[in-house]
A and B are shown apart, each in its own frame.
Chain A
Amino acid sequence: MFARQRDVSLVRHLNREVMGNVITQQCALYQYKLEETKVNIYGEAAAEKFYNGPFLFNVLINRSSQQYPEDAEGIQFQQAIDFYFLRDDLVDANVVPNVGDIVLYQEGYYGVQSTVGNQYWSGKNPDYPNNDSDGKPNPLNPNLQLFGTNLSILVSTYYIPADKVAISPFKERF
């Protein structure tokens, strides 16, 4: 039997080993607390924004080159980075990356502009076993929830200057 949950467990071990002990790229995720952030009539948070976290994760990173475009304000800095999270790490931490969250990576802040969860091992997402609407197992292939895994979450980000984020340890604000 292939891609059963026992195999998924092995894959999870291997991923955590290679991401945590071999590659060891880490980032911190700040989750935007929408309910505590006051916005104006335009939906802008002119005042403070509140975040949960940081949550530290081992990730795989695909960095694009730094760019330095010029505009009316002078020379700017831009860099887009894709962070690949092991989805099981996020599940264990009870964290769901969303647009608007902030990723801290190497002293730089990166705003989340999109998230993609599309890497299904063995081509199958166990969250959708195609059971009947009343909960009865799929008559053609029962127990499909035991096969495959939704492996990763791609978080695409863009660079945000630190002064615009204004994230700092809570104590320093007093």
Chain B
Amino acid sequence: MILAATVLVFVALLVLSLPIVFCLGAAGVTGLWLGGFPMQQLGSSLVAASQSWVLLAIPSFVFAGSLMERAGMSHSLVELARALVGWLRGGLGMSVIVVSYFFSDICGSKMAEVSALSSALMPPLARAGYRPEDAASLIASGTAMGMLVPPAIFMIVISAVTNQSAVALFLAGFIPAAIIGLCLCILVLIQAHVLGWPKDTALSWHRLLRASREAAVPMVIPVVILGGFYLGAFTATEAGAIVALYSLLAAVFYYRNVTWMQVLHIAYESGVLTGVVIFLLAVATIFQYLMGLSGVPELLGRLLQPLEATQWLFLTGVAIMTMLFGMLLEGLPAAVVLIPVVFPIATKIGIHPVHFDIVQTAAVGIGLFMPPMGVGLLMALRFANVSVFDHARHYWPYLVALLIGLMLIICIPELSLFLPRSAGFIKQSG
């Protein structure tokens, strides 16, 4: 009864376009009131959930990413990617995938990434004869893959939700992202031969050297993150602060194209985004509390029981749900509503928490770029100026490549576990 009323209130308000966090809040208050539970649960949850050292990494990574994007570091990364793979057939298309990997390393925001890559790459893609549908598909699928490349805000949130080390998740994401990237690159090679995409540029060591030199400033960040985490030198929160300082110094003193007023404005924007994300996480704890009391995890456990015998089947089932949630509710609301419910079942049947989190991160990334409603996809299409339905006919091979990559990550847990294990974040038996 309580559960039904709570879900009804949530869905009704969601349909009326009330922001999702307030749908969760109103539904939570209704559930607390109907169940006769103390309303103070809401007040204390808001403070308790946001009092977190790990989540403190969010404002600094967002601040750093926005500063680097504003300073135009994406352009030097695009040049590096073109110098690296542009000499292959369909090289410009493949550069989109490669630059998405690099750029996700410095930018924690998917929407900022779509916007930066679309502005930088759509014009040269059009000039090289790529259809707008293909350009949008390349950017959408590349950015979806980039979800797994740290530092993603989603990874910090899911680490808090499932009580895992954010550093372990950051390390775990590198190889799965490369695997999905590889699937996409193979597809681009095939498409290049079928559709006659040209080579972008001749192989030039001089160009590669120059591009590497120009990209050295932003490329320090992934090196610091990967190296620092691998050696256990610092935590995710400390890394966030270091990266924020580095990007500030680079933007103001090296690139010299960001004013102090713009820095303050970026700090403000980062603060609003941080507030929006963590407030959502905090309000959702009420919803999770009510679902727990109403026996939803047990109910879902029974529903998913047929899948429990086979871990990969269970993960696939949950990943499909996460993708759909990710498409409808966007990534973070999906994480705070669905994942806490299914996570205990996953660990009970022996799925490693880090593997589970990585699969869900990949699934949310794909969901964000899934037609017809993934917000990331809609944004890429806005830049390409094509409709969802026109685009879908050209997009399905990219979706298939993303899903093949996802299945590889699901079926081979070691892809996710190798780096955190070798860095000592996971016990050998794990």
Instruction: Report if A and B associate in a common complex.
Output: no
